[in-house]
Structure 1
Amino acid sequence: MKNDSAFYKLFAKYPASFFQLVGQPEVAADYLFDSVEVKERLQVEIKNKAYRIDGVFRPRQPESGKPTIFTEVQSGGANGGTVFAGGQIGSSGN
C-alpha cells in the first residue's frame, strides 16, 4: 500500500510521532525504530518468501523489560481510509 512507505519515513525520521499517536509520548526516548524483514523457506518447493514488518520499536536498553512493539499500516478500501495497528510481544528482557 502506498501509505506504508509514508508512515515508514515518518517513523524513521521522527520515531516519537508513533508514541504521540498512541498517547504515550513520555516513553518515546526509550525506543529505537527499525523495519524488519522475515524470511520463510518452504520445504515442498525450494522457494523463498519474505515479509516486511512496517515498523519495530525496540527498547534502547534490552534489559529494561520494556516490550518490543510491532506496527502495521494499511490503507485503501472503499472510503480510502488508513488503518493503523500496533501490537507488542512480551518484554525484551525475557
Structure 2
Amino acid sequence: MAFPSPAIDYVEARLTPESIMNVTQSSIVIPTDEGYAVAEPGHKVKKGATVLLDVNGKMMFAEVGDGVFKTNDGIIEGDALDDAKVLGVVTFMVKSLD
C-alpha cells in the first residue's frame, strides 16, 4: 500500500473570471469600451461609489455624490434625478488587454 501524495494538500481550484470577480446569478456584466464591468444590484449605494445608471434608456456609469450623480457627461441633479435609475453598484472593472 502506497502513501498518499503530499502534493494533494497544495491543489487549488482553477482561477476563473467568475471566481476572481465574485460573479453571481444576480450580477450584471457589462461590456465597456475598455473591457468589462461587474455591477451588483443588491449592494448598498454609498457616497463615492461608482454605480451603473439607466437614464432614459441610456446606460452610464456615475460616481455618487451628495444628492447628485457625477458622470463623464456632467452632473445629474435636481429633477433629472427622477429619470435616473440605479441598476447596481460597480464592484469590478476589467480592462481588455487587446
Structure of higher CA gyration radius: 2
TM-score, normalising length: structure 2: 0.26
TM-score normalised to the size of structure 1? 0.27
Please state which structure has a larger fraction of its residues in helix: 1
Looking at both structures, which has the greater relative contact order when contacts are Cα pairs under 8 Å and sequence separation is at least 6?
2
